């Protein structure tokens, strides 16, 4: 095992890999010798560890605009045996649930999050990144795909909406307002574990809306997979085209979630939901208005505030 002035190589954890990356960026003598391109690639991989943990070498290379051989050379420069050993570090980190802490540590160590006392700068940075997410989301939304999603929501016999953890907020928002526009909408909240069995209701003619950001929640993915196996259609709302939900259906809407925030930015998700609901209401025309009025009448009858 080689030693770079206290740095054990090859790295055996994501923490060690991050330390090597930071030392290389600072030009420390103990750091491994990486080419500028190699260092940039390593930092990009650390910025999106979930991709490095899940994609094949060819898919990961395409994602970062490099040749697969660049990933192999980077692994060798870090004194690892090859790409599989390199990817194993990311997979081990993802398996122990440390995705967010790893991201937070990287952002702080690399100075991508302003330090204490720079709060105005931090607010401006987050604001600019969120505006960028919204712009990328709007630019990437195909009008035909939005109309297809709206039509699927209108035509489905039943609609189940599933989204766990942080995505539950979006799932609740969507299912609540879908209830104004149509009947037979069910939010899968998994309280007590009972709603997990609700997937048995779904079959041909039904639709499940799966909302899941990377790193994806297994319950959401399994629910959508089971619904598909039973003949239902899947509408996926996620933040990356290579997410498992996105690979399970052609009907996918992407919401960008990049930037120096410890967790997944969610603003774009709600904009996507609003666009889908707007397309749906426009497509329904007078039926949408009538449905909303019936819901409002019910609320008034029961004096719900």
User: Do 88 and 202 share a structural domain?
Assistant: no
Q: Can you give the pLDDT at residue 192?
A: 54
Cα 64 to Cα 255: distance, rounded to the nearest angstrom: 19
Model confidence pLDDT, tens digit, residues 238-265 = 987 778 898 899 999 998 776 554 556 7
**Which is nearest to 201 in space by CA: 250, 162, 175?**
162
Cα-based torsion angle of the residue sequence 141, 146, 148, 153 in order, rounded to the nearest 10 degrees: 140
**Which three-class secondary structure string do you get for 73-105?**
HHHHHCCCCCHHHHHHHHHHHHHCCCHHHHHHH
CB contact at 8 A, 207 and 232: yes
User: Do 168 and 98 share a structural domain?
Assistant: no
The residue ranking higher by pLDDT, 304 or 82, is 82
Question: Phi and psi for 266 in degrees, rounded to 5?
Answer: -115, 0
Cα 302 to Cα 257, 296, 298, 299: the distances in Å are 40, 10, 6, 5
The predicted model gives 17-33 an average pLDDT of: 82
User: Do 166 and 47 share a structural domain?
Assistant: no
> What is the pLDDT confidence band of residue 129, given thresholds at 50, 70 and 90?
confident
Query: Which residue, 109, 143, 161, sits at the end of a domain?
Result: 109
**Does any domain span residue 115?**
no
State which residues form the domain around 15: 2-109
**Which is nearest to 166 in space by CA: 214, 110, 99?**
214
Cα 166 to Cα 39: distance, rounded to the nearest angstrom: 32
CB contact at 8 A, 153 and 185: no
Query: Which residue, 109, 140, 167, sits at the end of a domain?
Result: 109
- The pTM of this model reads 0.60
């Amino acid at each position: 095992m080689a030693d770079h002035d206290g740095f054990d190589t090859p790295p055996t954890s994501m923490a060690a890999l991050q330390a090597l990356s930071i030392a290389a960026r600072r030009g420390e003598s103990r750091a491994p010798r990486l080419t500028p391109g190699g260092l940039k690639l390593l930092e990009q991989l650390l910025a999106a560890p979930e991709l490095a943990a899940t994609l094949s070498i060819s898919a990961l290379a395409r994602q970062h605009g490099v040749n697969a051989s660049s990933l192999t050379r980077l692994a060798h420069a870090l004194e690892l045996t090859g790409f599989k050993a390199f990817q194993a570090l990311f997979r081990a980190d993802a398996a122990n649930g440390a995705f967010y802490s790893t991201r937070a540590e990287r952002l702080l160590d690399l100075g991508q999050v302003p330090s204490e006392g720079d709060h105005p700068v931090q607010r401006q940075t987050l604001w600019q990144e969120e505006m960028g997410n919204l712009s990328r989301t709007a630019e990437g939304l195909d009008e035909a795909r939005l109309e297809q999603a709206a039509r699927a929501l209108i035509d489905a016999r039943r609609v189940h909406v599933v989204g766990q953890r942080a995505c539950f907020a979006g799932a609740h928002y969507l299912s609540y307002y879908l209830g104004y526009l149509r009947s037979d909408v069910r939010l899968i909240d998994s309280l007590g574990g009972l709603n997990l069995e609700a997937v048995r209701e779904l079959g041909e003619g039904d639709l499940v809306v799966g909302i899941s950001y990377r790193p994806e929640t297994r319950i959401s993915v399994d629910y959508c997979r089971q619904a598909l196996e039973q003949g239902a259609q899947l509408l996926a709302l996620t933040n990356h085209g290579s997410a498992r939900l996105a690979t399970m259906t052609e009907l996918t809407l992407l919401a960008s979630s990049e930037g120096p925030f410890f967790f997944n930015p969610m603003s774009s998700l709600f904009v996507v939901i609003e666009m889908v609901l707007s397309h749906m209401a426009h497509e329904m025309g007078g039926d949408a208005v009538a449905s909303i009025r019936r819901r409002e009448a019910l609320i008034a009858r029961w004096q719900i505030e």
